[in-house]
Amino acid sequence: MAILELAVAFFVLAIIAGAMGAGGVAGLSMDVAKWLVLIFLVLAVLSFVL
């Protein structure tokens, strides 16, 4: 669950940074959030299969 919470936190950070005009921070935060969600989904599928 911690990975999903981190992904949501980075997503919110990306939205706030994007609204304030910090495009670099918003893009980086969105990339981190995307990877964390992907890792969470892979681990969730693996836990259901195993």
3-state secondary structure of 17: helix
Predicted confidence at residue 50, as pLDDT, reads: 85
Six-digit token string for 37: 């969600």
Pairwise CA distance, residues 17 & 40, whole Å: 24
Predicted confidence at residue 3, as pLDDT, reads: 79
Contacts of the segment 11-17: beta carbons below 8 A, 24+ positions apart: none
Predicted confidence at residue 7, as pLDDT, reads: 83
Q: In this predicted model, what pLDDT tens digit does every residue of 1-50 receive, in sequence order?
A: 687 888 888 888 888 888 888 778 778 888 888 888 888 888 888 888 88
Phi, psi of 41 (to 5 degrees): -65, -40
Whole-model pTM: value is 0.69
In eight-state DSSP terms, residue 21 is: T
Predicted confidence at residue 1, as pLDDT, reads: 66
Q: In this predicted model, what pLDDT tens digit does every residue of 13-24 receive, in sequence order?
A: 888 888 888 778
